[in-house]
Structure formats: C-alpha cells, structure tokens
Amino acid sequence: MDMDSLTKIVSDINSILWGPWCLIPILVGAGIFFSVNLRFVQIRQFGRAVKHVFGGLTFNGEKAGKHGMTSFQSLATAIAAQVGTGNLAGVATAMAMGGPGAIFWMWVAAFFGMATIFSEAVLAQLYRSKDEQGRIIGGPAYYISCGLGSRSMGALFSVLCIIALGFIGNMVQANSISTAFESSFNIPTPVTGVFLILLAGFIFIGGIKRIASFAEKMVPLMALVYVLGAVYIVIINIDLLIPTLSKIFVGAFDPSAATGGVIGASVKEAIRYGVARGLFSNEAGMGSTPHAHAIARVKHPAQQGLAAIVGLFIDTFIVLTATAIVILITGVLDGQTTGIVLTQQAFVKGMGAAGSGFVALCLFFAAFTTIIGWYFFAEQNIKFLFGYKVINIFSVVVLCFLMMGSFLKVTLVWELADMFNGLMVIPNIIAVFGLYKLVVRACQDYEQKFLKGEKPSFGPSERLTGRLAAIQTRHRSIKAAHNRQMMRNNAEEENNNSEDNEIDETPIDEIVNAAKQHKNTGINHMRR
C-alpha cells in the first residue's frame, strides 16, 4: 500500500469520526448536557472565574514544584496546548469550507464546551494522585482508572494520548514552524529543526518547574502580541467592522448571502466545519487539558474548573475570533485559498510586507507552546503506564519526532493526528459522563458552602490528592467483605450492607468511617 492510499483511508476514517454523526453530536451534546446539569455555570460564575485567574497575579509569580503548579500556571500550560496552529490555520480552513458563518457555530460549540471543560478540570482535581517521587500527577487516565474502576480503559486513553500528542501531534507542529520560517525568512528546514530540538530539550530537561515558568510567561505574551496585531488591522479598517460581524451572523444561516456566492457552502457545511474545527481548537472533551488542571494548587476543585472556562474563552472568543475578523475585514476570503496561507494573506494585506513575518513569528510561538504543553500531557501518561523509568527515553523520542517533522511532508501525519485526537475523545467522554454526578456535587459544594465561608466537603485540593481513589478502593473492599459475610450469615449481611453501593451517592465521611472500621477489624485486602 502506497502513501496516497493510506492517506485516503485515514482521511475517510476522519470524515466519519469528525463528521456530523459521530464526535460532533457527542461533544456538542455533552456540552449541552453539562451546561443544563451545572445550571450554566459558564454564565453564572464567569465573573468569579476571571477574578480567580487574574486577581492575584504578580510579575514575579510563584515557582512550581513537587506540590504542583499555581492555578494560573496550570491554566497557562493548558492554553499553551489549546492555542496552536488551529487558531491561526484551522479557523481559516473552516471559513474557506463553510463560509463566515462557521465562526458563529464555533462560538456555539465553545459556549457549551465551557461546561464540558469545567467538568474535566474538576474530575482531574478530584482524582489526581502522586507518583513515586511524591509529585502531583493526574489526567483522564486517572479518573478513568479510579473513578470508573477500569485500568484497561485508562491505559487505552494513555496510549492514544501519547501517540496523538507526544509523537504525531508534536511532529506536525514542528512542520508548521519550519514551513512558515522557510517561506517567510528563507531559513532551511533542517536549521529550524535543530533549533527546535535544542530549545525544546532545554525545557523538557527542566521538568515541571521549567515548563510552568515557560508557560506562564510565554503564553500571555504570545496571545497579547497576536491579538494586538489583529486589533491594529481592525482599527485601520474600523468602518468595515459592522459589515464583517454581519457576515458572520448572516452566514450562519445563509452562507451564500454572506459571501455573494463566492463560497458555495450550505448551512450544514457551515455547522460541520465550524463546530469540528472549533472543538479541535478548544479541546473541550478531548481529555488533553485536564493533565494541566490536575496539578493546580487551589482551595477547592471547582476553582480550577472555573479557570478552565477562562482558558477556553481566551482560546476561542479572543485568539480564534481575532484571526477570523482579520480574514474577513481584509477581504481575502476567496473560497480557494485556505489554511495558514489564507491567514498570512490577511495579515499581509492589513500590515503590508511585514504581515507574513508577523504571522510566521506568531505561528512559531503558538506551535512551540503547543509542543511544550502536549509533551507535558503525554509525559503524565507515560508516568501512568510506566512510571519514571522511561521518561528520559520518551523525551529523546519526542525530540526525534520534532526533527523529522521539521523537514518531512506530513500530509498523512496531519490526518493521523486528527484520527488519534478523535479516538482520545471516546474513553474520556465516557468517563466524564459516568462521573457527572460527582462534578455536580463539587459545584454545589463550592457554591453552597465554600463561597459562603462554610467548611466544604471537598476542601483544598492538597488534601484531596488520591483521596477519592483510596475511598473507592476501600468502598469496593467493604462490599466484597460484606458479600463474604452474607455467604456465612444472611442476617448479618443485611445489617452490615446498609451503605449505598455508589460512591457518588454516599457521603465521603461515611465511606471513610466505614473504611476505618473495617480496617481496624484486620481485613487485609483493605490495606492501601
């Protein structure tokens, strides 16, 4: 089988996976489901979320370490992964295929996705753990394994995440950087590749401290510079802003009217490409960002859920929207040009010759921060599967993929990245749905107790590390002990098995007390 045939096969799989009958309705449906069950927490608590993220920032910041990152550092690491080539190139592709109205449907997907990403972050906080060196770790593999009790599904997610983000995903990010630098500055791709592996290797070796320090400084700067460039173009074309916004809203329901028939897109295509590229960019439900949110130091798990909402808002409603407005306001959307080339044309028209270099530099920072974020996420899953013993080997392999991605033509690799990203969603979204009652309880606990100054049931995340996982293990052991007692004495069984069978329906304190009682009786299998 040649490369073209394989590429077509993977592309056909992606058309189904990211099509209108698979992941799109699942992810949008998940967003609506969580929005309703959490009473639209993305609206009710948005102001508090912004205050939580930006209220206590200082220029010096805090150092990350053994006990995790600050909430802002975790958020910056998550945004580093979210804001990548998709924000610069993906939105251009969406509009080229679905018209300006695709942006409206991106907004819709992002709005409901805020509730999904809130749920992911809360679960990541609740089911985080510690590695053999005592460092905080977490992510979907942990709440899948401990929450659903399925180690095999957790391992499956880890394998998919390592391939999708650590290897293939980082390969295409490197390719985007090298291609942009070659076209804008005539820098040979091997030179760019060597520079990338040296810079990335320096950050990888520094571990969590260096990753957190890099993310909290580089991500805000990257986003600010790019958005300011977009704002400059909007200001010099301010008379076209209202007609541009009108195209987005009109195009959502009548794409031909918004473009004068230049793009022969239907409403179906506007929805499909808008929602698909939007979900791909904001990563809500994909299971990537929970790795960063898991290690945040917060006073209540729901606080990091609110931070995750802010991250998605920045990704879609600020950075991605900035790209869309520039493309539309400069009038370069022709229905033929797509991807990063369309974005570059828009900035060249808005800024002159400097526009191409500006986009290339912004793409470098966006793609490189994504490389760092995705490496960190994949590393958490390496620890889940193998522990620390293969981390150094993993780092070297990632650097090799970065080098290969810098000079290879990666059409197939892009398709493979889309496929594995899509496959990641399935085990993650199953877990988030399965544990949604716990998310609702955590949100209620935050609003009804924590915000009122009462002692919350969940408390600081430091005290929760590994707690729910241990409780679930003990609870299952208690049930097993009861079952054995039932075989010996049916009457005694009815007295001892009075607890609720579902962990998310049983108060934590009751489970802990029951666990202690049984542990004191000397039941060996209840030992941690």
pLDDT at site 155: 95
User: Residue with structure tokens 């941690």?
Assistant: 528
- pLDDT in single tens digits along all 528 residues of the chain: 677 788 888 888 888 887 778 888 898 999 999 999 999 999 999 999 999 888 755 545 555 545 567 777 788 878 777 777 777 777 887 888 888 888 999 999 999 999 999 999 999 999 988 877 778 889 999 999 988 889 999 999 999 999 988 898 888 888 888 877 887 788 888 888 888 889 888 888 877 777 777 777 777 888 888 899 999 999 999 999 999 999 999 888 887 766 655 565 677 778 877 887 787 778 888 999 999 899 888 899 999 999 999 999 998 999 999 999 999 999 888 877 777 778 888 999 999 888 888 888 888 888 888 888 899 899 999 999 988 888 889 999 999 988 888 777 666 777 787 888 889 999 999 999 999 999 999 999 999 999 998 888 886 655 556 555 555 556 556 666 767 777 776 656 555 555 444 444 444 455 445 545 544 444 343 333
Within 10 angstroms of residue 380's Cβ, the number of other Cβ atoms is 24
Q: Which domains does the chain have, with CATH numbers?
A: 3-450 (1.20.1740), 466-526 (no CATH)
- Cut 0.85: pTM above it: no
The token pair at 30 is 């998940």
The residue among 489, 476, 487 whose CA lies nearest residue 523 is 476
Q: Please tell me the distance from the alpha carbon of residue 413 to that of residue 419, in angstroms, as a whole number.
A: 10
Q: Which amino acid is at 508?
A: I
User: CA-to-CA distance for 158 and 147, rounded, in angstroms?
Assistant: 15
Rounded Cα distance between 399 and 387, Å, is: 20
> Contact, 86 vs 277, CB < 8 A?
yes
Instruction: State the residue for tokens 């006990």.
Output: 67
8 A C-beta contact, residue 174 and residue 402: yes
- HEC string for 458-506: CCCHHHHCCHHHHHHHHHHHHHHHHHHHHHHCHHHHHHHCCCCCCHHHC
Q: What is the pLDDT of residue 469?
A: 54
Q: How far apart are CA 310 and CA 78, in angstroms?
A: 11
At 381, list the tokens. 């899953």
C-alpha atoms less than 13 angstroms from C-alpha of 253 in its C-beta half-sphere: 3
- The CA-to-CA distance between both ends of the chain, in Å, stands at 51
Look at residue 263 in the predicted model and tell me its pLDDT.
Answer: 66
Question: Which of 438, 417, 139 lies closest to 296 in space, CA to CA?
Answer: 139
* Dihedral angle, C-alpha 319, 374, 17, 321, nearest 10 °: 0
- Looking at the DSSP bridge assignments, the partners of residue 136 are 130
DSSP 139-162: SHHHHHHHHS--HHHHHHHHHHHI
For residues 127 and 119, the answer to whether their CB atoms sit within 8 Å is no
Instruction: Please report, as a single letter, which amino acid is at residue 354.
Output: A
Q: Which of 220, 398, 391 is nearest to 314 (CA)?
A: 220
User: What does DSSP assign to residue 387?
Assistant: G
For 125, the token pair is 């906080």
* CA angle centred on 278, ends 107 and 176, rounded to 5°: 135
What pLDDT, on a 0 to 100 scale, did the predictor assign at position 432?
96
Q: Which two tokens stand for residue 134?
A: 């005592």
Q: Given the structure tokens 């899948």, which residue do they identify?
A: 144
Alpha-carbon gap, residue 450 to 406, rounded angstroms: 49
